[in-house]
Amino acid sequence: MKPAPFEYFDPKTVEEAVSLLREHGEDAKVLAGGQSLVPLLHMRMARPEALIDLSRVQGLEYIRETDGVLAIGAMTSKRAVERSGLVKRRQPLLHAATLLIAHPQIRNRGTVGGSMAHADPAAEYPAVALVLDAELRAVGPDGERTIKAGDFFVSYLTTALEPAEVLTEVRFPMPADGTGWAFREVSRRHGDFAMAGAAVTLSAEGAGRCTEARIVLFGVGPTPIRVHGAEQMLVGETLGQALLELAGHRASEDLDEPLSDVHASAEFRRHLAEVLTRRALAEAMARAGGG
């Protein structure tokens, strides 16, 4: 399983990277951590003529808090995110999701930006971006722009990035104090891609009435999916077991035909979506309001 031949470039700046992408167009592929791309190269399912390696581009590895936002450079490794005290303290959902990604050796090389740009429907980070309402910054021939997570994940392995655009940063708004959260998935083995997963954030008032709910399901469609119908059922209500069950049903029903593969049928994925929604909501509720 050896790759087909390609030309290799390691630009030192984002501008250089953009320029190379422009030059080679569809014949180019960006190499970030390589944990998703390199197997495809080996199987010759990806056959770029030019490989643009971003690992020498300066200034894309950082985790910092600015203006109520956690900003992570696109080439930051998942391992760095895992080990970041800042992330653990201030973005616990992101931290929890990171621990479920594959294994340490993969996280050592895999990057935040790479995961977002690859947009595997069963991957954790796109779901995190969607549930936290992240913003993704990209630089292209026409300059810099910001894309909201809701607009970023377009379809199966397809994002809103233009061919010559490079993802430079992901910005996660800091959650308000007392926000409940949960991140759960069901996979065949520890570390495998999820057959289905749910990411939830929840805010509640003192009396336990929900003021805001965001529910994202992943692994059950071509992109991570916000299930607005189920969310709306919860706002203004006190979250008891019966309501959670209804929300789970609604989330599951609102899915278009989920994926079907050797690990899980569409029917089973739809069912898991319901179970995970309910369980994630219960977990998030327990955490909400400083619980």
Partner 1 sequence: MAVEIPKRLEDLPTSSPRWVGREVKRIEDPELLTGRTQFIDNVVLPGMLHCAILRSPLAHARVASIDVSAAEGMPEVAAVITGEDALRWSFPAASSPEGWGSHCLATDKVRFAGEPVAAVAATSRYVAEDALELIVVDYEPLEVVADARKATESESPLLFEERGTNVMLQRVFTWGEVEEVFREADHVFTEKFRWNRVGANPIETFGVISEWNPVDGSLTCRGSYQSPSFMGLGRSASLGLPSNKVRIISQPHGGSFGGKGGGRGTDITALLSRKAGGRPVKWIEDRMEYLTAGGSQAWDRQYQASLAVEPDGRVTGLKVELLDDLGATGEGFGSISAAKPLSAFTGPYTIGVAQYDLTLVATNKLPASPYRGMGPPPHNFVLEQMMDIAARSLGIDPAEMRRRNYIQPDQFPYTIPSGNEYDSGDYEAALDKVLEMAEYRELRRQQAEAREQGRHLGIGVASTIEPGVFDWNSYAIVGMPGVGVPEGATVSFDILGKVTVRVGFSLEGQGQYTLAAQLIGDYFGLEMEDVRVVALDTQSAPPHFGPGGSRLGVALTGAILGACERIKEKLVKLAAVLLQTEPGSVELMDGALRVKGMPEAAIPLAQVVGAMLARSDLLPPDVDPRPEATFVWTAPGRTPADEEGRAKSYLTAANACHVVLVEIDAETGKVEILKYLIADDCGTRLNPATVEGMTQGGVAQGVGAALLEEYVYDPEGQLLTSTFMDYLLPTIHEVPMTEKAALVTPSPFSPLGAKGCGEGAIHAAPAAVMCAVNDALAPLGVLATEVPATPNRLWKLIQGAKSLSPGD
Partner 2 sequence: MVTTRKVHLTVNGVAHEAFVEPRMTLADFLRGELALVGTHVGCEHGVCGACTVLLDGRTVRACLMLAVQADGAELMTVEGLDEDGRLHPIQEAFLEEHGLQCGFCTPGFLLTVYELLADSPEPSDDAIMDALGGQICRCTGYQPILASVRLAAAKLRQGRAAGAA
**Residue ranges that bind partner 1, judged by CB under 8 A:** 1-5, 39, 43-44, 186, 188-193, 195, 261-265, 268, 271-272, 275
Asked if 10 touches partner 2 (CB under 8 A), the answer is yes
CB neighbourhood size of 133 (10 A): 16
Q: 132 and 125 in contact (C-beta within 8 Å)?
A: no
Classify residue 73 by its DSSP letter: E
Q: Residue 264 binds which entry of partner 2, partner 1, none, with Cβ cut-offs from 5 to 8 Å by kind?
A: partner 1
Residues 6+ apart with CB under 8 A from 237: 209, 210, 243
Q: How far is the CB of 51 from partner 1 (least distance, A)?
A: 15
Asked if 1 touches partner 2 (CB under 8 A), the answer is yes
Asked if 62 touches partner 2 (CB under 8 A), the answer is no
Asked if 4 touches partner 2 (CB under 8 A), the answer is yes
- Over the window 14 to 53, marking each residue x when it contacts partner 2 by CB under 8 A and - when it does not, the resulting string is -----------------x--xx--xx-xxx-------x-x
CB neighbourhood size of 117 (10 A): 22
Look at phi and psi of residue 191 and say left if phi exceeds 0, alpha if psi is from -120 to 50, else beta: left
Q: How far is the CB of 70 from partner 2 (least distance, A)?
A: 23
- What DSSP element (H or E) covers 89? helix 85-90
Q: Cα separation of 253 and 233, whole Å?
A: 14
Asked if 89 touches partner 2 (CB under 8 A), the answer is no
- Sign of CA pseudo-dihedral 190, 274, 269, 218: negative
Q: Which of 197, 217, 213 is nearest to 205 (CA)?
A: 213
Q: How far is the CB of 15 from partner 2 (least distance, A)?
A: 21
Q: How far is the CB of 106 from partner 1 (least distance, A)?
A: 12
Q: How far is the CB of 279 from partner 1 (least distance, A)?
A: 8
Q: Residue 176 binds which entry of partner 2, partner 1, none, with Cβ cut-offs from 5 to 8 Å by kind?
A: none
